[in-house]
Amino acid sequence: MASRTNIARLTRQNVLRSVHNVQNPPVSSRAYSALALTSQRALLRPQRPVQFTRVQSPEFKLSLLDRKQTRHYGPSRLPPRLLRAFSYHLLDTADTIVKVPEMAESITEGTLKQFSKQVGDFVERDEEIATIETDKIDVAVNAPESGTIKELLVSEEDTVTVGQPIVKLEPGSGGEAAEKPKHEPAPEKKEEKTEASPSKPETKEAAPSKPEPVKEKQPERPKPTEPRKEAEPSTPAQAGGREERRVKMNRMRLRIAERLKQSQNTAASLTTFNEVDMSSLMEFRKLYKDDVLKKTGVKLGFMSAFSRACVLAMKDLPAVNASIEGPNGGDTIVYRDYVDISVAVATEKGLVTPVVRNAEGMDLVGIEKAIADLGKKARDNKLTIEDMAGGTFTISNGGVFGSLMGTPIINLPQTAVLGLHAIKERPVVVNGKVEVRPMMYLALTYDHRLLDGREAVTFLVKVYPRSRPSRNTD
């Protein structure tokens, strides 16, 4: 029965021995971790006695440490995995622990970007507490229930993993927490007023006693104006100094850099170009954009036309929509009957590629609406992991920024990416005559491991004629 009693007020000398002597009934690894960490803290504060409570859990056995090994381990010499578990398990069971939520199968960690609430703040259920930055999107951490923030278990800019506790929340209503700040600032304001009131008559009485020093200061005022004129020409010299500023990359930028470098190191990238006359497509858009806007609320653009054209061209050249998979750089070609188009969207944090899924089953208006919705979500920072996952082919429109020509980089494991560029009026020969036409360069970067030059050029040549839709926008 002695092992079932509480261990009372242990001192520095016997704390470790008492922790390891308690073995029957078996203690869970969580209870042992909490108990061992408390004993370690006791060693750091030898003058402060510690109260231990026996935690019994007959249904769990000590799994992380063997019983025989337990006798020989002190808290400062425990295995690293158990030491890491200390911060997870030494938590008050009366409080609610907010943990890092599940994000996606491919994302296991992130950087805690910022806390929306601080210690002492009251939060409602499902209210945002913190924001975690991943290499794809920002994930909001919401309160599982209403309560007051009791403790922040991590700091901003710390790397956190899925399931790691980050906030200790004391459940309850916000009535008590809201009343405290009402009484505290009130006396402070009153004290300021009482202190300010007696000071005013004192200054009035002191003013007549010192009239002469005030007059003496007045002639001295124009003197400092002269050096100010001399100092003004020196300020531009300081502004033109050679300064540097170092800023740490966010996770999205780090991930973009990693993926782009991986693409260049893995794929045998090659780019082929073509020049297209945009006259007919621009006439079609001008003719039908108002009717489509009234009926569907969608503004017709060029991205949907080229997306639809790529889908049709892939029926003749399915390798453009395929990918290479397998060990040692890949030994298997995966052909797909569906087309998921990744659309490149520029945001403040970097370039993201949300996916228009099953584009082969959409008409022109459906594709345009999907692209518009994804673009808005990207600019509002509301993209989800599902919006970003997958993709079999990418279209990037650098023309919106004025790009005349460029070579886009393949988004692995995809095989090709189509780059659209700015529309410029240029003189071209049409039926033996020189005419000014709106022209645009198309660039197709492809993986030469899977696509030959003939297939890539054929695909690019087939894209533009099929980008001119019929009147039924089918």
- Residues that are catalytic: 448, 452
Q: What are phi and psi of 313, to 5 degrees?
A: -70, -30
Mapped to the 3 state alphabet, what secondary structure does 341-374 carry? EEECEECCCCEECCEECCHHHCCHHHHHHHHHHH
Quote the Cα angle for 254-260-265, to 5°: 125
d(CA 353, CA 344): 4
Are 441 and 460 within 8 A, CB to CB? no
Task: Name every residue whose Cβ is closer than 8 Å to that of residue 160 and which is 6 or more positions away in sequence.
Answer: 100, 109, 110, 111, 112, 132, 154, 166
From its phi and psi, is residue 37 left (phi > 0), alpha (psi between -120 and 50) or beta? alpha
The partner residues of 420 in beta bridges, in order of sequence, read: 397, 442
Burial 350-384 (b: 16+ CB within 10 A, else e): bebbbbbbebbebebbbbbbbbbebbebbeeeebe
The partner residues of 170 in beta bridges, in order of sequence, read: 148
